[in-house]
A = this chain, B = another copy of it.
Amino acid sequence: MTTPARIRAGGLLLLAPLALALHWTEIVPPVLIFVVGLAAIAVLADWVRRGTEQVAEHAGAAVGSLLTVSFGNAAELTLALFVLSTAQTRIVQAQITGSIIGTTLLFLGLSALVGGLKRERQKFDQAQVGLLSTLLLLVAVAILLPAVFDATERAAAPGTNLASRDEELSLWVSATLLLLYGAHLVYVLVTHRDMFAVGEKRRRPEWSLPLALGVMISATLAIAVESELVTARLGESASLLGLTPQFMGVVVLALVGTISDLFASVAFARADRMDIVIGMCVGSAIQIALVVAPVLVLASWATGHPMNLVFGSPVDLLAVATAAFVVRAIVADGETTWFEGFLLIGVYSLFALAYYFEG
């Protein structure tokens, strides 16, 4: 009932050394290395997740959940840090936007569509989902506020250098978001555990703790290596494929770290477990916005390549706000149908078109 066996096959791990080998031979076109590297990251991301799950089962619910949160987005974070180190801030922001709309619109849409094809409707419990869709609103506010602040300041005093004020606000907003996420964990894991524990019975770990830790850490390191290969060939590959770097960031880089979630999510939808599907898809977007983005801001500040949260592109802002409102509307009635899935995919396509035509 988890990720299908196909993508979990160990053989796929060979993609990682393959990308490295192609990099060393230096004779294949860069776009090939780029594609193989991306595929390797997609596979490795799933192994990080498996390792983390196993460690979590050794560690118990509370510590385990913290671990899952921290390493659940290790792939996105690692890739984003490498892109950031090449000072491509706009691409990192596109990646964050793309992860948010990719998981909430595309992945949820595909799952609801596939799950709804042979059923009239798929029901789920609204109590959990309601909180997630409220947190999506917080995500939208957190992404909109620094940009609106920047626009306000720019209009009030044109020509002022806002870099330090934008940076300070971004740091404090990031700290607030991490605090809110922490409170959310306390709520879900401590004070209202019973409400959210449905069907989450503890299983016996399949791996020993050292093996699990080893897999988790080595797969994360391997992602770092692949990320460097991929990042270095980003611009070149984009222009070769006739795509803008923004499109690459939003559609390709954003989804590579979570593509294994898509397979798992569709499988759960087919098994009519929409609670888990929505929890995965929306939960992933919330983690990106409330954990990965703030950590990137703090990390970028610590490492001297400051990235703020001022999303310069209004399309990004509309995309995130749309995701929040459309998901709320779709899940408000406690059920999904194939058409609602199709609609989510349609809304995603509208934004993908906009990024495709962006100059």
Contacts and interface: CB of A to CB of B under 8 A. Distances in A.
A233 B40 CA distance: 64
Provide the main secondary structure of the chain A interface: helix
**What's the interface size class on A, roughly?**
35 or more
A127 interface: yes
A126 B334 CA distance: 12
Contact of A176 (B126, B173, B346): B346
A115 to B, nearest CB: 14
Nearest to A194: B120
A176 B346 CA distance: 7
Interface in A294-337: 312-315, 317-318, 322, 325-326, 328-330, 332-333, 337
A351 B156 contact: no
Interface in A134-171: 134-135, 137-138, 141-142, 144-145, 148-149, 151-153, 155-157, 160, 165, 168-169
Given A152-B313, A357-B149, A358-B152, A138 B173 contact: no
Given A130-B332, A130-B333, A192-B120, A358 B149 contact: yes
Contacts of A133: 329
Contacts of A76: none
Contacts of A338: 187, 191
A353 interface: yes
Which 7 residue pairs across A and B have the least CB separation, nearest first?
A187-B339, A134-B329, A180-B346, A148-B314, A152-B314, A148-B318, A149-B354
19 contacts: A120-B192, A134-B330, A135-B343, A138-B326, A141-B318, A145-B315, A145-B318, A148-B315, A148-B354, A152-B358, A153-B359, A169-B353, A176-B350, A176-B353, A179-B346, A183-B343, A187-B339, A328-B329, A332-B332
